[in-house]
Amino acid sequence: MRFHFCKGKFDQVLSRAELASRGGEDSASLQAIVGLASALLGQEEDAVAKLDAAAKAHPANTIIIGALGYAYAVSGREARAREVLAELKKRHVPERACCAYALALVSMGLVDADSTLHWLEEAYRNRSIWILTLALDPVFLSLRQNSRFQALLDQLLLPTKMLPGFGAVAGGSSPP
């Protein structure tokens, strides 16, 4: 599912998620990806509804809550997104890598590049599993030309020169 999400095939994400749901699969990470895919398809109200339900079902899952904050932000509900951001900051413990990534999601929705990069850098330092697909994550597409983002990808040792949208960008080393 994450593969299709990172490839920008959001319709496939939604159709595969529907099949997975019928088969009994309803994990928190699946719900987060489905909500983000809906938001990126421009179905912001659907994304908010899906992620709100997921947040109620998984209130401790910071990725879902971060995705909900992102959906609030891109749907024009900046005040609600800022409430989510404040709540995640209260919950934040530096050793909990997922929370930093969740804070980056909300910050990205609020179009705050500095804050987004701060939280992504913290997610990297704390070894968030979500950071592994950062170079391909469509949520962060608009940061691809940012030098701080490039430096973070260099730290991850991701070969960004081979990725779509990175062709003319300096940096992006290949692993040794």
95 and 165 belong to one structural domain: no
61 and 128 belong to one structural domain: yes
68 and 151 belong to one structural domain: no
User: Which ranges of the chain have pLDDT less than 50?
Assistant: 166-176
Residues spanned by the domain of 167: 144-176
14 and 47 belong to one structural domain: yes
Write down the pLDDT at residue 8: 72
Cα–Cα distance, 118 to 123 (Å, whole number)? 9
44 and 123 belong to one structural domain: yes
Q: Domain with 24 in it: what CATH number?
A: 1.25.40.10
Q: How many structural domains compose the chain?
A: 2
Q: Exposed (0-12), middle (13-18) or buried (19+): which is 11, by Cβ within 10 Å?
A: exposed
* pLDDT tens digits, one per residue of 147-176: 999 999 988 876 555 555 544 333 333 333
Write down the pLDDT at residue 82: 98
Write down the pLDDT at residue 176: 35
108 and 176 belong to one structural domain: no
Write down the pLDDT at residue 96: 64
Cα–Cα distance, 117 to 106 (Å, whole number)? 12
Write down the pLDDT at residue 133: 82
Helix and strand numbers, DSSP H then E, in the chain: 9, 0
Judge contact between 107 and 119, C-beta under 8 A: yes
